A = this chain, B = another copy of it.
Amino acid sequence: MENTELHVVITARFFTDVKCFGPGIAMLLTRVRTLHSLRAAAMDMGMAYSKAWTILKEAERGLGFKLLHSTAGGRGGGGATLTEEGERFLAAYEAYTRDLKACGQDLFQQYFSEFIQP
């Protein structure tokens, strides 16, 4: 059921000289972790492969390290897995956003209780 009561949605975006990480690339990497393919991950999100590729390359450039290993060829065609640094950054992002949302919910109760319908 749709939540029509006043509620807050918190977004954390990471920048260096450019935007390099946020909810989009995080979701993409999460699906690569399961599907072992950037193409399959993009398709699963209804995103064009070219867009997924661009988001990935911009994130890697901004962060200064590779997020995915490409595994080319073989019987099943090429695939992708997260690099060790990619795994660590995604895990940090997941823990960070989980705790940030918890903090944001506590503060929401503190500051907005008068605006929430009883």
Which single member of B6, B14, B92, B95 contacts A7 (CB below 8 Å)?
A: B14
Kindly state the separation between the CA atoms of A108 and B10 in the bound complex, as whole angstroms: 15
Q: A86 CB to closest chain B CB, in angstroms? A: 12
Besides A7-B14, A96-B107, A100-B100, 6 other A-B contacts (C-beta < 8 A): A5-B16, A6-B16, A7-B16, A9-B12, A92-B111, A100-B103
Counted per complex, copies of this chain come to 2
- Of the A-B pairs whose beta carbons lie under 8 Å apart in the complex, a sample of 13, sorted by A's number, is A2-B17, A7-B14, A7-B16, A8-B12, A8-B14, A9-B12, A10-B10, A63-B115, A92-B111, A92-B112, A96-B111, A100-B100, A103-B104
* Contact B99–A115 (Cβ < 8 Å): no
A95 to B110: give the CA distance in the assembly, Å: 10
A69 within 8 A of B: no
Whether A75 is near chain B, meaning CB under 8 Å from some CB there, is no
- Residue A13 at the B interface, CB < 8 A? yes
Which 6 pairs, one residue from A and one from B, show the smallest C-beta to C-beta distance?
A103-B103, A4-B17, A92-B111, A96-B111, A11-B11, A9-B13
